[in-house]
Structure 1
Amino acid sequence: MAIPVETFHLSATSQGTLQARIQQMVAEGILAGRFRPGEKLPSTRGLAHHLGVSRITVTLAYTELLANDYLTSRGRSGYFVSENAPEPPDFGPLAPRRDQVDWDAAFAQRFSNGANLGMNKPLDWARFRFPFIYGQADPKLFDHANWRLCATQALGARDFMALTQDQYDQDDAELATFIARHTLPRRGIQAAPDEILITLGAQNALWLAAQILASRGRRVAIENPCYPALREILRQGGAQVTPVDVDQEGLPPDAVPRDTQVIFTTPSHQCPTSATLPRARREALLKRASQINALIVEDDYEFEMSFLKPPSPALKSLDEEGRVIYVGSFSKSLFPGLRLGYLVGSAPFIREARALRASMLRHPPGHVQRTAAYYLSLGHYDAQVRRMGRALGDRRKIMERAIAAHGLEIAGKGAHGGSSIWMQAPEGVDSRALAAQLHQDSVLIEPGTPFFAQNAPPTRFYRLGYSSIPSERIEEGIALIAAALAQGPQGG
């Protein structure tokens, strides 16, 4: 690797001739570990021009460093840091810095109180033999070749403007058009271009909706249990949050308080129980929102994973009063690192969301949007969803058979599909301790505690995802979970 010429600066306080100062500058970079063996130095001509000195001065400095084995010369290739150069001394850990800032007083608002929300997933999850974790992609199921071709196509001259120019608050027209004409109609939703906004995943979409609709003391109803990051987003915005307990069919409309101004719900696959809100209850929820003059934010994060039977119509498709804000995402059906989602709502709401997004990040990266647009419009996305649906359907059957064979208890598994099963351990079991114990056996599960809003949440629930674990390992992994539970209650 070449060391950038901009790295080199002559200190105004250093002593000696220019040659000696250049020699010292290079030697100090090597001794400090900033320049490493094998890295190429700038040419004598380039460094001389950068420093504003004569080329012969740089050449003499390099020659002296060659003699001292700091540098080596490779024919016409130039000068490189020598493999025999002195190694940087090991001074041990840096001395602790004593800030003179009272950070508790300096923070206008804190965001780290709920950081990760107890849902840490190891970055090296793929090395575990039995990763029953939710939301990670299986590389065996992803269409690498066609995604690569679409990314290359998006880098072409034809798409140069979409790739490079600042769109300010606008979206990629091809991606927005595909969502309007293909993705949303599959959910029964019709939307005009000014009613759609591209976001950095569903998380960003929820944040935008919460900032606009649910901040500064607004009264908000959420499901309990629910997506923990949503509670944190609402807390940060200062909303007055009321958790509403869900049942086997999801959110009970009559339980939503009369003074609620905004309702956040996951009707297709309730997070985390996977319960599906029946058609009659969806209509009842819309009626309840109309009666109390509330808005609804519908998080439809996993509707593409309805492989057991067709998904129920989206709340947004049944909405005749413009009360529903719809949140969609490609993260679950493609890969989570894509960070690409969308908001659908009435034009006045999308106008505000667009302005808020622009003040924060302008727009999602143009190349990511255009690559996704090609991938979707060329039919690769539908093929990917069908492939994932078949694979997840097969894994689910294996999961259910193994769970039944080992006597484990399902608390909620969803009627339409999804990629996880909500589990219930025997009384007295703390799923956090269970997860720690299974970690030693290369098994990853997700404790259910973070999903609940109570100060003393139930501890016996846990979630098993099956999007990341190979089919042939499921039964053995379930057996290990059953064996750990058979040892008796795990304490907290």
Structure 2
Amino acid sequence: MPIPAEAFILDRHAAIPLQVQLRRQIIEGVMARRFRPGEKLPSIRALAGHLGVARVTVAQAFAELVATDYLSSRDRSGHYISDGIELAPDAGTPAPATPRLDWQRHLNRRFTRAQRRDRVPDWRRFRFPFVYGQADPELVDHAAWRDCAVRALGRREFDALTGDLYGEDDPELIDYIARHILTRRGIRAGPEEILLTLGAQNALWLISQILLGPGRCCAIEDPCYPGLREILTHDGAQVLPVAVDAQGLPPDAIPAGLSAVFTTASHQCPTGSTMPLARRHALLDRALTDGFALIEDDYEFELSFAGATSPALKAMDRGGAVIYVGSFSKSVFPGLRLGYVVADPAFIAEARALRGLALRHPPGHMQRTLAHFLSLGHHDAQMKRMRRSYAERRAVMLAAMAQEGLQMAGGATGGSSFWLASPVPSRALADLLRTRDVLIEPGWPFFARPDQGDGFFRLAYSSISAARIPEGIRRIAAAIREA
């Protein structure tokens, strides 16, 4: 890959000669590995024109670097970063030290402090990764997605995709979500009630920014999705955790004076319990009586293994209190980062304005590619393949856990994970298992009080093959016995 001329800038007010400045910039680029062996430099003519200097200035700098083996010259081809270069310090005059901005004075680190510390970015190197939220590439229809991306890049549609949507969304994608995705959850919504987001995390952030802030209160489930707590940490609102039971969030335990209540009614995160219809009605009644917004994160409704799924809270909502959050992370692939919010038109208008300030809109090409993927039937076919595979893995894991005596601590009606009781502190258990090529999720990030999570851990089966599950479970059981 050629190095662009724009990579070089000369300071005409510096005491250092221009030729020396250029030579040092090339050496520093090589030492910092920004310039790699075999990369071609701009021609002497092009670089001199860009820098506004005589060609001899560039030629002399290049000649010095060829002599010291930083560059190689090829006849009728140009100058290249040398293939035989040794990354040693420059023997020339050291550059004078320059003062640096004290970033510690400008940053209070409120965002880095709230980040989760339990995730393992290189989870793929483990043989037994019981990691939630990651996809098995074997289940993703790569050929179909590539075909849809090529369609979106076709001349007939490309002109529309290259424009700025000014905060609007792809009408084809919105139409499919309204007519096909939402109707499966019993939800009827028009385009003015739907907003696309960069995944569920972005949706929850938008909601919190609009509804919450200093002087306001909200309730969350305890335990809950750790990413939600990360978001709410920064809003200045008072966050009140409400302990869930075997049926999810109990409406009677919700305190008064709230602006919002967050729930995962259909598949509680992380316990997996499903809220029964009677409790859903009671929760909706509380929302209308007390006047709080009810945020429903329906993150895994496609994966149900206990007959027909219960209707979404949004489908039962007659007073417009529910803000529904959906995502394609589980049904397509996590890296897609596309989701949606369904709510009252007044809320959607405000959320669209806020989204416009932050990022305008999700990339148009990704929106149209997903629209093709959905409308051509690839999404439904992929979901059928995922359900079959997950059902097999689920059965294998249930049998292995029963054989090894691992104890369930949550529901088992759907989703892609199990919530288990741990007779030993789960954080220490997770650390021990990492040394044995096994990844589990300890319970502490899910709780308002991390110590309450010592007795739990989560096992997911979306990112591990059925063949490896039994051995992975055996290793977990053996580690528990040892501990």
- TM-score, normalised relative to structure 2: 0.92
Pair 1:41–1:244, CA change in 2 (3 A):
same
1:440 to 432, 435, 438: 435
Moved over 6 A (4+): 18-21, 95-98
Deviations 1:90-116 (A, max 9, x none): 99xxx998864663xx45782233211
* Structure 2 counterpart of 1:451: 446
Contact 1:269 1:414 in 2 (8 A): no
Whole-angstrom CA distance in 2 between matches of 1:171 and 1:474: 41
Identity, in percent, stands at 57
Spell out the pairing of 1:358-369 with structure 2 (5 A cutoff).
358-369=356-367
Q: Against the structure 1 CA distance between its residues 90 and 313, is the aligned structure 2 distance closer, same or farther, given a 3 Å change threshold? A: farther
Identify the residue that residue 114 of structure 2 maps to in structure 1.
114
Query: Which residue is equivalent to 1:476?
Result: 471
Greater CA deviation, 147-156 or 7-16? 7-16
Please report how far the alpha carbon of residue 178 of structure 1 lies from its aligned counterpart in structure 2 after TM superposition. Answer: 0.9
Farther-moved stretch of structure 1 (254-263 vs 314-323): 254-263
Q: 1:170 aligns with which of 155, 168, 171?
A: 168
Aligned counterparts of 2:76 and 2:255: Cα–Cα separation in 1: 78
Q: Partner residue of 1:241? A: 239
Residue 397 of structure 2 corresponds to which residue in structure 1?
399
CA distance, structure 2, for counterparts of residue 173 and residue 284 of structure 1 = 36
Is the partner of 2:221 in helix, strand or coil? strand
Q: Residue in 1 aligned with 2:388?
A: 390
Given the alignment, which residue of 137, 140, 160 partners 1:139? 137
Q: Does the aligned pair in 1 maintain the 2:445–2:453 contact within 8 Å?
A: no
Partners of 2:193 and 2:32 lie apart in 1 by 55
* 1:317-345, Cα deviation, whole Å (9 max, x unpaired): 01111111100000111111111100000
Q: Which runs of 5+ in 1 are unaligned?
A: none
Does the CA contact (< 8 Å) of 1:262 and 1:295 recur in 2? yes
Alignment partners' CA distance in 2, 1:31 and 1:212: 47
Q: In 2, distance between residues paired with 1:411 and 1:39?
A: 57
Q: CA deviation at 1:35?
A: 3.5
Q: Find 1:205's aligned residue among 182, 203, 210.
A: 203
1:183-205 CA-partner distances (Å, limit 9, x unpaired): 11111111111100000100111
Counterpart residue identity of residue 369, structure 1:
Q
Aligned length: 477
Partner SS, residue 305 of structure 1: coil
Amino acid at match of 1:422: W
**108 and 485 in structure 1: CA distance in 2 versus 1, 3 angstrom threshold:** closer
Once residues 22 and 151 of structure 1 are traced to their aligned partners in structure 2, the CA distance between those partners, rounded to angstroms, is: 42
Q: 1:67-87 CA deviation, whole Å, 9 max, x = no partner?
A: 554432333332212234453
Specify the alignment match of 1:51 in structure 2.
51
CA contact (8 A) 1:162 1:370 kept: no
Code of the residue aligned with 2:454 in structure 1: it is T
Q: Aligned equivalents of 1:27 and 1:242: distance in 2?
A: 56
Contact conserved, 1:413 with 1:420, CA < 8 A, in 2? Answer: no
Which residue does the alignment assign to 2:420? 423
- The Cα shift of 1:458 comes to 4.0
**Partner residue of 1:465 out of 450, 460, 475:** 460
Once the two structures are TM-superposed, the CA of residue 476 in structure 1 deviates from its matched residue by 0.5
Q: Which amino acid aligns with 1:229?
A: G
Q: Is the CA contact 2:197–2:203 (under 8 Å) kept in the aligned structure 1?
A: yes
What is the identity, as a one-letter code, of the residue corresponding to 1:188? G
Q: Given the alignment, which residue of 177, 183, 186 partners 2:181?
A: 183
Distance 1:283 1:441, change over 3 A: same
Alignment equivalent of 2:336, drawn from 316, 335, 338: 338
Alpha-carbon deviations, 1:18-74, whole Å to 9, x = none? 777766665665566553331211122212322334546645654565455443233
Q: Who is 2:155 aligned against?
A: 157
Residue 305 of structure 1 corresponds to 303
Cα distance, 1:308 vs structure 2? 3.8
For the residues of structure 2 that align with 1:85 and 1:456, how far apart are their CA atoms? 53
Unmatched 5+ stretches in structure 2: 92-96
Per the alignment, do residues 97 and 133 of structure 1 end up closer, same or farther by CA in structure 2, a change over 3 Å counting? Answer: farther
Question: Residue type matched to 2:446 in 1?
Answer: F
CA root-mean-square deviation: 2.5
Equivalent residue, structure 1, for 2:94: none
Q: Which of 218, 229, 232 in structure 2 is aligned with 1:231? A: 229
Query: Greater CA deviation, 208-217 or 368-377?
Result: 208-217
- For residues 391-442 of structure 1, give each alpha carbon's deviation from its aligned partner in whole angstroms, at most 9, with x where no partner exists: 0000000000000001110011332x2000000022xx11000000011000
Aligned counterpart, 1:80: 80
Which residue pairs with 2:256 in the alignment? 258
Q: Which whole-Å CA distance do the structure 2 matches of 1:20 and 1:422 have between them?
A: 63
- Structure-1-length-normalised TM-score: 0.90
- For 1:207 and 1:406, locate their aligned partners in 2 and report how far apart those are by CA, in whole Å: 41
* Whole-Å separation in 1 of the counterparts to 2:135 and 2:348: 30
Once structures 1 and 2 are overlaid, which stretch shifts more, 204-213 or 461-470? 204-213
Q: CA deviation at 1:375?
A: 0.8
The equivalent of 1:89 in structure 2 is: 89
Residues 362-389 of structure 1 deviation map (CA, whole Å, 9 limit, x = unaligned): 1111111111111111110111111111
Contact 2:324 2:343 in 1 (8 A): yes
